[in-house]
Amino acid sequence: MIHPFYALLIAVFFLIGTFFVFSPGKGLLGRIQRYKRIQDHICREDILKHLYENERQDKKSSLHSMAGALNISTERTADLIQELQHTGLIQLQNDHYILSAEGRDYALKMIRIHRLYELYLSEQTGVPEAAWHTHAEIAEHEITPEQAEAISDQLGNPRYDPHGDPIPSADGFLPPNRGLWLTDWPENEIGRIIQIEDEPVNVYNIIREKDIQLGIQIEQVRREQEYLKLIANGRKVTLPLIAAGNIRAEVLKQAAPITDPPARLRDLQSGEQGVVIALSQNLRGSERRRLMDLGVTPGTIIRNELVSAFGDPVAYNIRGAAIALRHTQANLIYVKKLGAEYEAAS
């Protein structure tokens, strides 16, 4: 027979456990249900975005394609699709799904929030570029339309995000894509990069590794088998077609070929100096403002004063002050090297 004290202790633990699991709102079961509702909401919105992107690329969306894109089971995807059909956001057309007018508006609002938030991160924070997309993927499910409008007002109601993608307006108008994809580029034209798709990430990383940035000049674009060869800001670059297909450029009618490509501040050897020509468009937000406050602006002369023992950072003389910059920062500053004749004159 159980001692009354132990029986009471067991009863107390049972009541506490029951409260912990079944307490309304705060219990474990309630939290699990709330988490599931949040995840289902995110998946439904991701389905709408997936459908929009497929329609934009003239691709058909099936149950299996959506399950694969969201990395969830076909059973769960089917349940979510049924819910979206009941709300009138998607429709079944023949053997594939399409967005209704209301569903397309919903998807564009999400895309608006995502691109506005990426621009906010790039212009107003020090969040590194590689993390913009991940943060925006979360924000697009959490930020309200009212908060999005506040961000838009703060940024001056922009039309394009930091990758050059058009930002839908609050009423669902999407600014047109500009220029041409590099895969369609006419051989003898000179142009300027105006848009770089940041998805899929592995393709975007290829573009970044090739140092292709918004605003740079391109010329002598020609296709060779599975690659595109071109001159980018005076440098020879070879791009896989899969990467070139994610880059858009506009024709520059009055531009001349670049015969003297700019160097990077990082290219200056110890004792060398150069005059700043421009700052890369990839230099954004607080980091850009900090460098400009330090005097790194077009026309400023900078000298490589001292290389650290490990080679990074490097101390540069900027307007009489010694400033340490890492290679990642110095690589985003374009300069024209000044030769020995300038040393003698100064």
pLDDT in tens, the chain (346 residues): 566 655 666 666 666 666 555 555 555 555 555 556 667 788 889 999 999 988 888 888 888 888 988 888 999 999 999 999 999 999 988 889 999 999 999 999 999 999 999 999 988 888 888 889 889 999 999 999 899 999 999 999 999 999 999 999 998 888 888 899 999 998 889 999 999 998 888 899 899 888 888 888 999 999 988 999 999 888 899 999 999 999 999 999 888 887 777 888 988 988 898 999 888 877 877 888 888 888 888 899 999 998 888 888 899 999 988 999 988 888 888 888 886 555 544 5
**How far is the CA of 75 from the CAs of 49, 80, 83, in angstroms?**
20, 9, 13
The span from the CA of 202 to the CA of 246, in Å, is 12
Residue 197 CA to chain centroid, in angstroms? 8
The span from the CA of 285 to the CA of 122, in Å, is 5
Helix, strand, or coil (residue 158): coil
CB 327, CB 312: distance < 8 Å: yes
Residue type for 60, please?
K
CATH fourth-level superfamily of 263-345: Ferrous iron transport protein A (FeoA) (2.30.30.90)
* Torsional class of 261: left (φ above 0), alpha (ψ -120 to 50), beta (otherwise): beta
Residues of the chain with CATH 2.30.30.90: 180-251, 263-345
CB 278, CB 262: distance < 8 Å: yes
Residue type for 222, please?
R
Among 264, 275, 267, smallest CA distance to 338 is for 275
Class (C level, CATH) for 180-251: mainly beta
Class (C level, CATH) for 28-99: mainly alpha
